[in-house]
Structure 1
Amino acid sequence: MLEKVTPLILTYNEAPNIDRTLQQLTWAQTILVIDSFSSDETLEILYSYPQVKVIQRSFDSFANQCNFGLSKIETEWALSIDADYVVTEALINEINGLPDSPEVNGYSVRFKYCVFGKPLRGTLLPPRTVLYRRCKATYQDDGHAHRVWVEGGLGKLSGYIYHDDRKPLSRWLWAQDRYMVIEIKKLLETPFNELSWGDRIRRTKILAPFIILIYCLVLKGGILDGWRGWYYAFQRVLAETLLGIRLIEAEKMKSN
């Protein structure tokens, strides 16, 4: 099965992460990377792997970047992962042993969030469809995120992917603020009754940070992870606080 799979990765200044990601993909004959003109050492690291094919494209949206990447893949299957994902050996072996089932066109995978390389007991990351038949998949933007829509049946894999982002806090803050601007557009333009319960809570601007703190520490067991659990919880609280501030700003500017 592995010979039918091409990993697809989007990059922009991912030098702190990309080498760990690529180390777990050396089984692939080709690794396709769509780079948004990185200015750090990302390209140097990418070119050190002979099976990596780099195509540079100016970033406009995550969905457009992914759909462009899919159009350049020649194998039947694509494995779409972020530049801070680490595919575990168990998942690699599971993919390699998948049966040829024509009725299944994609598989979802669970994640374990890492803080400085150590996985937490629980996170907010939901399972995500990452392995799919290229010709059956299309990406669409969803707020600051992007989702793949796969035609046909979907299966679930038992192996995990580690989300292990080691970029500095300043870069994380830059990315979160950028994401929140996009997320607010979705929250304000979607009718309230069409929003998920989570997004309805976010629209209150006040409740979300407190609920996220309790959810991460208590319901997800983060308090049992010691300072790493508190670190993750504080990150998520800060992200929701940024969203609330941006939401207030957007509503006031709209009313003036």
Structure 2
Amino acid sequence: MISIYILTYNEEIDIAACIESAMLSDDVIVVDSLSSDRTVEIANRYPVRTVLHKFDSHGQQRTWMLQSVPAKYDWVYILEADERMTPELFQECLQATQSQEYIGYYVAERVMFMGSWIRRSTQYPRYQMRLFRKDKVWFTDYGHTEREVCNGPTSFLQETYPHYTCSKGLSRWIEKHNRYSTDEAKETLRQLQQGSINWRELFFGQSEVERRRALKDLSLRLPFRPLIRFIYMYFLLGGILDGRGGFAWCTLQAFYEYLIMLKVWELKHQPLPNFEVNHNLPNSDSEPAAEEATTDSAKLSL
């Protein structure tokens, strides 16, 4: 058997369906980042454990969860609230845990958008580290998201999981990716100043994960990146065959890339903030802003 962690923040729309899909396991743990909606209330209706922890970053939240929240089993699976476990994937996970060769497995997502599977323009199969031995994997931050660090060999599962990436509506998607673009801009600037392109992994990488990450490092250095990304996704990857949803998806991704570019420019050219303190202002004026920033930083990736 495997334990299933579910990461949440303000997921009252998705949490019930996510938990119900995960109940194939008898050990489901909801790790909530201090939601302000009914997420925890809904989760508590199910026979699951619920743990609350302030969100700092995606990598730190996952690593804290693995180190501090005990699981019933050695093997664990990570679900986001807008994702679902399937019976077929669960059975393959059980079989994979019998292997003595690998300590973790990547699983491909099926992006569900506007009522259909956006297969081509989402670079399917796009793999994420989801099933692993709890004591062999941890996570570090990368941009707005995280990257896994694996202490041992890994492999890939055949079954996939559905990811309802826009289940909360386009307004929530735009709001979320506006926040994400700020972190991506900081990581992009760092990569441009300190990083480099791994040409060997780009052309001869042994896995999709290695090749995709090397391609991203290359793409950061290309001019007209939003336009190039749209052309690449819509025409070269075949997003044009994904119908109306494919066109909308490629347009949104190009928009997201443009936001990142604008914020990179802003980081390079904006004046340094003025830290001069006006002692005539009451201290209470700054408190709501600090509280708002803390709340905003707690929002998880959907």
State the TM-score, normalized to the length of structure 2. Answer: 0.77
1:65 — aligned with what? 61
* 1:194 matched to 2:196: yes
Report if aligned partners of 1:143, 1:185 keep a CA contact under 8 Å in 2.
yes
SS of 1:210's partner is helix
Distance 1:207 1:59, change over 3 A: same
Distance 1:79 1:99, change over 3 A: closer
1:229 — aligned with what? 246
Q: CA deviation at 1:103?
A: 2.3
Q: CA deviation at 1:121?
A: 2.0
Q: CA deviation at 1:113?
A: 0.7
Query: Where does the alignment leave 5 or more consecutive residues of structure 2 unmatched?
Result: 198-213, 274-302
Higher strand share: 1
Q: How does 1:3-82 map to 2 (within 5 A)?
A: 3=1, 5-50=2-47, 52-71=48-67, 72-74=69-71, 75-82=73-80
Q: CA deviation at 1:220?
A: 2.6
Which is further off, 130-139 or 90-99? 90-99
2:127 — aligned with what? 127
Report if aligned partners of 1:63, 1:141 keep a CA contact under 8 Å in 2.
yes
Post-superposition CA distance 1:1-27 (Å, at most 9, x none):
xx2x11112111112222222221111
2:101 — aligned with what? 103
Q: CA deviation at 1:192?
A: 5.4
Distance 1:218 1:8, change over 3 A: same
1:247 — aligned with what? 264
Q: Percent identity?
A: 30
Distance 2:41 2:114 in 1: 23
SS of 2:96's partner is coil
Report if aligned partners of 1:6, 1:29 keep a CA contact under 8 Å in 2.
yes
Q: Which runs of 4+ in 1 moved over 4 A?
A: none
2:160 — aligned with what? 160
Name the count of aligned residue pairs.
Answer: 251
Distance 1:201 1:95 in 2: 34
Post-superposition CA distance 1:14-48 (Å, at most 9, x none):
12222222221111112112111111221222112
Distance 1:99 1:226 in 2: 38
Post-superposition CA distance 1:53-100 (Å, at most 9, x none):
111111111111111211213320110121111123221121223362
Residue among 93, 110, 113 paired with 2:111: 113
What is the root-mean-square deviation of aligned Cα atoms in Å? 2.0
Structure with max Cα Rg: 2
Report if aligned partners of 1:116, 1:164 keep a CA contact under 8 Å in 2.
no
Distance 1:240 1:156 in 2: 29
Distance 1:62 1:210 in 2: 29
